[in-house]
Amino acid sequence: MKKLWAGRFSEQTRSSVERFTESVSFDARLWRHDIEGSIAHVKMLGKQKIISVADAEKIEKGLLEIKAEILSGKFSFKESLEDVHMNIEHALIAKVGPVGGKVHTARSRNDQVALDLRLYLRDEINETIKLIKGFQKVLVRAAEKHLDIVMPGYTHLQRAQPVLLSHHLLAYYEMLGRDAARFEDCLKRVNVLPLGSAALAGTTLPIDRKYVAKLLKFSAVSENSIDSVSDRDFAMEFISSASILMAHLSRFSEEVILWNSEEFGFIALPDSFTTGSSIMPQKKNPDILELTRGKTGRVYGNLMSILTVMKGLPLAYNRDMQEDKEPVFDTVDTVKACLSVLSEMLPQSVFRKKKMEEATVAGFLTATDIAEYLVKKGMPFREAHGVTGRIVKYCIDKDMTLTDLEMKEMQKFSELIGRDIFDHITVKASVEKRASYGGTSAKTVLARIRRIKGHK
């Protein structure tokens, strides 16, 4: 098959080279955006009288017919035509005749592919933001439902202080909020029109780039034609934002994996989101969570891939940049799949209230409350910290908990300790007294939930 660019060549491309250089096997997913961009482009060409309005309309009609064929599954993408762009243009010329060749007037594949990728990412970023916000809603509903459950908060994976499960879940809500904001900010730099830059230097033809931007709903037009075709910052930024999101999903997955273990027993995952063992009949494995954790490395790898592709390229376009798409596409698919399945899984999981509350009894989780009690009595915090540490050591030596201590034992450590100390060292009191803004008391957590729901 003769290439559309084959005019200056005297030999046909070898089949091995075609296989090595083709990208249609993965960039075919850009077909919708390629057609959308081409229609806007020919409308502009007709408006500017670069081609006739009749030719523009004929091309648009042909492109819409190709769109219908692809949607119906009748269109066949050919490896020999290299990429999605050439496949559609070849089909267009076959459908409407030589006039179809006018579709490529005043553009290059360099600015065409940059346009398609930006259109694609614009759609996928918006979809990703929707999925993030959907998972946030799942977390808020779980937090609202379980306001009565107290659990150990951890530092260094050691029991630290009692917190509400709701407060813990809402920590992930906050992380996801930052993720959504990063994608929203990335969208500003994605939503810039590169079309009209041509190969790298612009065109001598009287095009109207702002008109194309209006048709395609771009908020800005690129300012430098060389930068336009060589820029993939927006793709790197997208995968970077996705990597941070996946770090958060991986942390969430790791915690739920731990909570689901017999050693913790804080949560029971639904059978429909777990798998069994081929040899051990008793097993119920949290594969969804483990795969989310594992797929995080995959997205990190995609970021390293695109950063490495771009790091040493001279301006402007180089064929290396064909390698930008697979990392982008794989990241889109991975992130959307993880967000979707976690949003389905969590509402069907059961939190074990008794197990969580039992875990707050051991480990001296209210020790800080003793120190703060002494501070309120006038003792400097560092001194109060030391007194409390000695009380804890005494309890460890005697195999006791803080609430096992009698008044006279407490007062051996400080004369400032009164009978009201016992109102401060229960788990319930510890949680409820942490009413500082952003703290774990039911009052502050409920206030945060109300603010979140008020922002909808």
In 94-188, which ranges are E strands? 150-155, 158-164
**Per-residue CA distances from 188 to 120, 195, 221, 254 (Å):** 14, 17, 12, 33
- Which residue do the tokens 């952003």 mark? 438
Distance of CA 161 to the CA centre of its chain: 30
User: Residue 95 corresponds to which tokens in the numbers above?
Assistant: 């459908």
CA distances from 95 to 78, 99, 147, 250, 378 (A): 16, 10, 64, 49, 88
CB 375 within 8 A of CB 381: yes
Cα–Cα distance measured from residue 189 to residue 121, given in angstroms and rounded to the nearest whole number: 11
Structure tokens at 311: 């790091």
Burial grade of 68 (CB within 10 A; 0-12, 13-18, 19 or more): exposed
Amino acid of residue 334: T
Give the helix/strand (H/E) hosting 328. helix 325-345
Q: Which residue in the block uniquely carries the two structure tokens 């996928």?
A: 124
Which amino acid, one-letter code, is at 96?
V
Q: What letter represents residue 55's amino acid? A: D
Question: Considering 16, 156, 436, 455, which one is annotated as catalytic?
Answer: 156
**Catalytic annotation present for 277:** yes
* Angstrom distance (rounded) from CA 100 to CA 35: 13
Task: Decide: 269 and 207 in contact? Cβ < 8 Å.
Answer: no
Element (H, E) at 68: helix 53-72
Q: CB under 8 Å to 40, separation ≥6 — which residues?
A: 195, 212, 215, 216
Which residue among the candidates 25, 52, 261, 277 is catalytic per the annotation? 277
Quote the CA–CA distance of 367 and 425 in Å, as a whole number. Answer: 7
> Catalytic residue positions?
156, 277
